[in-house]
């Protein structure tokens, strides 16, 4: 029979480890998600929604790690009959992240003083955009310095390798194979360490979404991944057993990773172009639908879709689905999924929800473009 104490210990360990991962993920994404959540709240607040609706709709946005706190505030206000200002203050005291805690505290003060949600969220979004932009620029400048340091590190490593090769030619330094292995692992360590430093120094930003639908390049990467990853694993397991050197193994692994890298590079360039064209698309669609007083579907029919750049085919497919009578929200989600971009996924939800809730289409792109820039 199993010991109950051991079962409790194992159960607590299984429960604690995912919580640690979730806590780390939340800490890394809070500032980025808070900016988009603020954009969403500021956008839908201009549609003359009630305070309860603003908190309720925002709490349902699972793509923001910060939305769970807004959901807690709404549940406390609805189920325990707290004022929203009091609920914000209580939840703020339970939040460990400083940015989210300060936001809820300011929100509580604004609501208790009688300031409207629209005024507070608009001014708060302006402040958040300036703060985020300044921090982003500082991180980019720091990244440039780290890149210079990484370049110097690579040059130093190359110099060490050259000196070792010359020493092997001129002197008897012992087992040549051992020296080559040591050099290979040294170069590998320097490369991995440098890339890790650059990764931690780079501004934190989510570029690709986690939706089921993917861009064409991401679908190819997924197909290659299913085939090449087992081959890489088998190579790592088998090559040392049959006596193949580490250098040959690294070359084989590099060749196997090449297709994924090529399509990843192509997808990255396409994502940048789609993100740039999406702002123009929102402005054009909003102005077209707003000036004629029609829905977004009719606005898509009236606008010149050929001038949308890389989004042309995606917009045409979305318009075709909407013309068939499919659900508009699902069509927009499909459009965001096929774009492959997390920015488009978030901003398209902001744009569509604010218009569907009763906002003016020609006003919504202003908030969308400010956030995307």
Question: For residue range 326-354, what is the model confidence (pLDDT) as tens digits?
Answer: 888 899 999 999 999 998 998 888 888 88
| Tokens 């069509």 sit on residue | 331
Average pLDDT of the chain to the nearest whole number: 83
The confidence band for 10, taking pLDDT boundaries of 50, 70 and 90, is very low
Q: Which two tokens stand for residue 271?
A: 């994502």
Question: What is the spatial distance between Cα 117 and Cα 106, in angstroms, rounded to a whole number?
Answer: 12
Q: How far is CA 117 from its chain centroid?
A: 27
Model confidence, pTM:
0.79
- Does residue 17 carry a pLDDT above 70? no
User: How many Cβ atoms are within 10 Å of 237's Cβ, its own excluded?
Assistant: 9
Question: What is the spatial distance between Cα 298 and Cα 295, in angstroms, rounded to a whole number?
Answer: 5
Most confident of the following: 150-159, 200-209, 255-264: 255-264
* Range in 57-61, 99-103, 250-254, 292-296 the model is least confident about: 292-296
Q: How far is CA 61 from its chain centroid?
A: 15
* Range in 40-49, 138-147, 237-246, 302-311 the model is least confident about: 302-311
**pLDDT value of residue 363:** 54
68 neighbors 33 (Cβ within 8 angstroms) = no
Question: For residue range 166-220, what is the model confidence (pLDDT) as tens digits?
Answer: 777 777 766 677 777 777 788 888 888 888 888 888 887 788 888 888 998 999 9
Question: What is the spatial distance between Cα 365 and Cα 284, in angstroms, rounded to a whole number?
Answer: 9
- Does residue 225 carry a pLDDT above 80? yes
* Range in 16-30, 69-83, 171-185 the model is least confident about: 16-30
Tell me the mean pLDDT in the region 218-234: 90
Q: How far is CA 308 from its chain centroid?
A: 24
């Amino acid at each position: 029979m199993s010991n109950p104490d051991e079962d409790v210990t194992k159960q607590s360990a299984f429960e604690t480890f995912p919580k640690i991962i979730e806590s780390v993920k939340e800490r890394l994404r809070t500032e980025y998600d808070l900016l988009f959540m603020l954009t969403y709240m500021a956008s839908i607040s201009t549609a003359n929604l009630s305070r309860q609706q603003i908190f309720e709709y925002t709490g349902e946005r699972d793509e923001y790690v910060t939305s769970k706190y807004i959901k807690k505030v709404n549940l406390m206000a609805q189920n325990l009959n707290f004022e929203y200002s009091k609920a914000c203050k209580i939840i703020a005291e339970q939040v460990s992240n400083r940015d989210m805690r300060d936001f809820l505290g300011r929100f509580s003060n604004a609501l208790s003083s009688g300031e409207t949600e629209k005024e507070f969220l608009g001014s708060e979004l302006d402040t958040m955009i300036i703060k985020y932009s300044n921090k982003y620029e500082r991180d980019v400048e720091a990244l440039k310095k780290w890149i210079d340091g990484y370049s110097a590190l690579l040059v130093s490593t190359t110099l060490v390798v050259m000196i070792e090769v010359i020493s092997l030619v001129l002197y008897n330094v012992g087992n040549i194979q051992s020296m080559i292995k040591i050099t290979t692992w040294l170069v590998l360590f320097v490369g991995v360490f440098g890339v890790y430093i650059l990764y931690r120094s780079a501004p934190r930003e989510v570029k690709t979404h986690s939706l089921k639908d993917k861009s064409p390049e991401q679908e190819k990467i997924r197909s290659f991944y299913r085939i090449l990853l087992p081959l890489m694993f088998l190579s790592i397991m088998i090559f040392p057993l049959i006596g193949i050197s580490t250098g040959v193994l690294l070359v084989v692994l590099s060749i196997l990773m090449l297709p994924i890298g090529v399509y990843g590079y192509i997808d990255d360039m396409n994502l940048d172009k789609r993100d740039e064209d999406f702002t123009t698309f929102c402005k054009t669609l909003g102005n077209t639908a707003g000036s004629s007083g029609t829905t977004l579907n009719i606005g898509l029919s009236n606008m010149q879709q050929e001038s949308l750049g890389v989004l042309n085919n995606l917009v045409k497919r979305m318009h075709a689905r909407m013309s068939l009578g499919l659900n508009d929200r699902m069509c927009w989600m499909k459009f965001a999924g096929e774009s492959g971009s997390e920015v488009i996924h978030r901003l398209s939800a902001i744009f569509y929800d604010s218009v569907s809730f009763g906002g003016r289409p020609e006003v919504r792109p202003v908030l969308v473009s400010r956030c995307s820039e």
